[in-house]
Amino acid sequence: MVNYERFVLPNGLRVLVHQDTSTPMAVFNVMYDVGAKDEDPNKTGFAHLFEHLMFGGSINVPEYDEPLQMAGGENNAYTTNDLTNYYIQLPTENLETAFWLESDRMLSLAFGEKSLDVQRKVVSEEFKEHYLNKPYGDVWLKMRPLAYQTHPYQWMTIGKELSHIENAQLQDVKDFFFKHYRPVNAILVVAGNVTVERVRELAEKWFGPIESGERYNRNLPVEPPQTVGRKLEVHADVPLDALYKCWHIYSRLDPRYYAADLITEVLSGGGSSRLYQALVKEKQLFSNIECYHSGTVDAGLLTIEGKLVKGVKMEDAEKAIEEELQKMRTEKISEAELQKVKNKTESMIAFEDMSVMNRANSLAFYELLGDASLMNTELDRYNKVTADDILKESNAIFNENNCSTLYYLSKN
């Protein structure tokens, strides 16, 4: 059980406090309810660009890292299609430094052509290095628009195409900031050796004067059910053929999400999993194979991807996957196998909760989903999944009409 207290400032900033007196450190986590899915389809990559711009100096603090390092702190951030998260870890006695730095970034960035130009080039180079010039780097640039034809999950956080970032203008950046990076659209979690009284005092002092901003009403297009299988074939300079298959699954708050999550564990949760045992170890068709899901707030994807052993035909590899999926659709999983993946899930949750940093991040995420207390009931939801649920959801998910397939073929 992760205990916390919650209060809301008059400007709409939600604040959660999790006390853990076993550590001399504090974690300061600010999560903004904005991700790549909130971008203009013609100006993508902005949420991720902001992750960089936020370290370029704010209106009263020209250097972000230097004072934080002097306070013994460290920080980082990440952006997804659903959210953007900034976090700091520092000694508790220096907690106010985090309030000072983060509140000034929320107040306003030090917008300037020079800062934008620097970060635009950094992100553009990242786009080229990781998504255009790296082997298999463009897989999701191709797979996402194949699987999603309406919902903005059809582009990655790096952006739909390089030109969107290269052409980003200062006014575009300002508009995006003042639309999304406001108290009313943010969640602050402070965890560690802190008290609610101290956090409330500092929150009111540093964040209280910031204008709330207008609440962002998300109204995204819903992806309609996929009714026809989709296929794409790509030839590239890569060492091995690779196969990618995606099926639409459920949103993060859908009760069926938990069965879908356990299905991925049954198929590829370690060396004893079905796909590894059958297709890597026994039939030796794949050098590696994985099954995972995107875990997104809106309806996500379940993916199987694998690199074929040299000389194996794509059709044979795909047929072998289909044989394993057919077993999932027709044979009820044993109670022992189901309990094994539940045990592993419980272990993963317990391990994640050991870190104060992870607890702070999880509290912010569940608050963003609508209720931070969901963090304490996740395990119960997994434990309620039955073998019948696994069979039912396998039938619902692993439907060829619900599938997008990418053949990534080596030119060599």
Assess whether 289 and 202 both reside in one domain: no
Nearest alpha carbon to residue 220 among 274, 297, 168, 129: 297
**Residue 52 in 3-state DSSP?**
helix
- Nearest by Cα to 398 from 265, 333, 304, 314: 304
Tens of pLDDT along 71-100?
A: 999 999 999 999 999 999 999 999 999 999
Q: Are residues 99 and 42 in the same domain?
A: yes
Parent domain of 344 = 230-410
One domain for residues 180 and 235: no
**CATH label of the domain that carries residue 97:** 3.30.830.10
Task: Give domain status of residue 222, yes or no.
Answer: no
pLDDT at residue 313, rounded to an integer: 97
Same domain as 242, residue 143: no
SS3 233: strand
Q: Is the pLDDT of residue 152 over 90?
A: yes
Q: Are residues 157 and 266 in the same domain?
A: no
Instruction: Choose the final residue of a domain: 208, 242, 269.
Output: 208
Average pLDDT over residues 127-133: 96
Q: List phi, psi (to 5°) of 88.
A: -135, 140
| pLDDT of res. 56 | 84
Amino acid at 176: F
The predicted pLDDT at position 310 comes to 96
Instruction: Evaluate whether residue 141 is within a structural domain.
Output: yes
Question: Above 90 in pLDDT, residue 412?
Answer: no
Residue 373 lies in a domain: yes
In the chain, the number of structural domains is: 2
Residues 200 and 241 in one domain: no
Whether residues 234 and 202 fall in one domain: no
pLDDT band at 155 (very low <50, low <70, confident <90, very high): very high
In a domain, 223, yes or no: no
Same domain membership, residue 290 and residue 203: no
Helical spans, DSSP H, in 188-334 = 196-206, 257-268, 274-275, 314-330
- Percent of the chain scoring above 70 in pLDDT: 100
CB-neighbour burial class of residue 3 (10 A; exposed 0-12, middle 13-18, buried 19+):
exposed
pLDDT at 111 over 90: no
Bridge-based pairing of strands 25-32 and 14-19 is: unpaired
Sort 343 into a burial class: Cβ within 10 Å, 0-12 / 13-18 / 19+: exposed
- Calculate what percentage of the chain has a pLDDT beyond 90: 93
Q: Is 225 a domain residue?
A: no
Strand order across the 301-308 sheet: 230-236, 403-410, 242-248, 301-308, 286-293
- The strand order across the sheet containing 25-32 reads 5-8, 14-19, 186-192, 25-32, 84-91, 74-79
Q: Do 234 and 200 lie in a common domain?
A: no
Q: 244 and 115, same structural domain?
A: no
pLDDT at 50 over 90: no
Q: Considering the domain boundaries, does residue 224 fall inside one?
A: no
Contacts with 144 (C-beta within 8 Å, 6 or more apart), sequence order:
153, 154, 155, 156
Alpha-carbon 107 to chain mean position: 26
**142 and 257 co-located in one domain:** no
pTM summary value: 0.95
- Is 217 among the domain residues? no
CA distances from 241 to 178, 180, 307 (A): 45, 41, 6
- Residue 289 domain-assigned (yes or no): yes
Per residue in 339-390, pLDDT (tens digit) is 999 999 999 999 988 999 999 999 999 999 999 999 999 999 999 999 999 9
* pLDDT (0 to 100) of residue 309: 98
What are the φ and ψ backbone dihedral angles of 310, each rounded to 5 degrees? -55, 130
- Looking at the structure, tell me whether residues 111 and 241 fall in a common domain: no
Question: Measuring CA to CA, which residue among 53, 60, 90, 95 is closest to residue 75?
Answer: 90
